[in-house]
Amino acid sequence: MHIVPFGVEQWMNEYETRCAHNLAETCVDSLTVDELLALAGDAARVWAEIRAMRLGYGAIEGSDRLRRAIAALYASQPPEHVLVTHGAIGANALVYAALVEPGDRVITVQPTYQQHYSIPASLGADVRILRLRPERQFLPDLDELASLVSPETKVIAINNPNNPTGALMDVGMLDAIAAMAARAGAWVLCDEVYRGLDQDGDGTTASMADRYERGISTGSMSKAFSLAGLRLGWIVATRSLLDAVAIHRDYNTISVGMVDDHLATLALEHRDAVLGRSRQITRTNLGILDAWMANQPRLGWVKPRSGTTALLQLDVPMTSRDFCVRLLEQTGVMLTPGSVMEMEGWLRMGYANHTRILREGLDRLGSFMVRV
């Protein structure tokens, strides 16, 4: 199967371990196991449970306790509507493998995580791109979406909150997209890996799986829960969709790790503490970035409303990649060039790393902006 290289992942693989100040990171400052156990309490009991584990394959679709804890993140989903996967990256890949056949139309917002357009293209889909534009706060133009929806449309893929823009669709917009999909009999895949990190209110937006019978929500422990090292994600959808996915999953997953399942369950059962920490970091850090941006005449943005990333528009006569490589070499600060996500002229900054790393990185980036 031919597939184009994954731009962001290649950039990260090349430079991530070589930078001093990682402002390309999209996870909220990752937790150590000890920090997770401290947030959850009763560390001695948890260690005893892990030591006593007999390491077979475990529950194939994810343990009942884990699926109950994931289901509790949604307004009206039973545990049977949850399938555990190898990260959200595994979840998205499985959904496309199960649904998309050559010639099917797949409509995908852009910019977004590249899986959502490159995997359907590799499967032979007729991929149509719905551009998210800064003048619309990077929210989809629903009239444009309506013009792309056809009877052949199999999937409309959205990402809420959006990586890389930090845009956030409200429930009205989600319902409008679901209504368009319903008219075409299409599925809506909503990648919700950053859900729980809104800057306002209780921090959690409505989920597509709760809004539409053919709504599919993917999520994971990586971003809002600060536990990417567990490599644990999920799909929430109707049982018929999960049964179709499970056929593919049997060929490439079997099950996720039992220790990962256990630690993810623990984090989700203490989600108020884990997400409270994450929101405290993302809200503090976005405030710092906002104040810094006010003094940057050569950078523009649409201030994010959720997630962990911001897109910065670069008013410097240089490609985004040249800018990022020079920045890295001269200062040790790592950003992600817009060129790897179809956004030349822009830079992606992950602002949810440790606050000290953000402050130091912004200091260095600020000095570089004056020199460059």
Ligand X SMILES: Cc1ncc(COP(=O)(O)O)c(C=O)c1O
> Which residues of this chain interact with ligand X, rule CB under 6 A?
26, 87-89, 113, 159, 163, 191, 193, 220, 222, 228, 233
Q: Which is nearer to ligand X, 120 or 233 (CB)?
A: 233
Neighbouring CB atoms inside 10 A of 34's CB total 9
> Which residue type is seen at 331?
T
Category of 181 on φ-ψ map: left (φ > 0), alpha (ψ -120 to 50) or beta: alpha
d(CA 253, CA 255): 5
Cα distances (Å, whole numbers) of residue 142 to 132, 152, 156, 174, 305: 11, 18, 12, 10, 19
Q: Which is nearer to ligand X, 222 or 306 (CB)?
A: 222
d(CA 112, CA 59): 32
Instruction: With H, G, I as helix, E, B as strand and everything else as coil, classify residue 355.
Output: helix
Shortest CB 322 distance to ligand X, Å: 24
Shortest CB 51 distance to ligand X, Å: 27
d(CA 372, CA 362): 15
Shortest CB 185 distance to ligand X, Å: 25
Q: Which is nearer to ligand X, 90 or 361 (CB)?
A: 90
Tokens of 301: 């943005």
Shortest CB 118 distance to ligand X, Å: 13
Tokens of 236: 């929430």
Shortest CB 191 distance to ligand X, Å: 5
Q: Which is nearer to ligand X, 159 or 278 (CB)?
A: 159
**Cβ contacts of residue 293 below 8 Å, gap of 6+?**
299, 301, 303, 312
Question: Contact, 310 vs 304, CB < 8 A?
Answer: yes
Q: Which is nearer to ligand X, 26 or 217 (CB)?
A: 26
Torsion angle of C-alpha atoms 256, 260, 265, 268, degrees rounded to 10: -110
d(CA 326, CA 372): 9
φ/ψ (deg, to 5) at 190? -115, 115
Q: Minimal CB distance to ligand X: which residue?
A: 87
Shortest CB 372 distance to ligand X, Å: 27
Strand 215-220 vs strand 105-110: parallel, antiparallel, or unpaired? unpaired
Shortest CB 88 distance to ligand X, Å: 3
Q: Which is nearer to ligand X, 123 or 369 (CB)?
A: 123
Q: Which is nearer to ligand X, 114 or 320 (CB)?
A: 114
Shortest CB 302 distance to ligand X, Å: 18
Q: Is the peptide bond before 297 cis (omega within 30 degrees of 0)?
A: no
Q: Which is nearer to ligand X, 230 or 362 (CB)?
A: 230
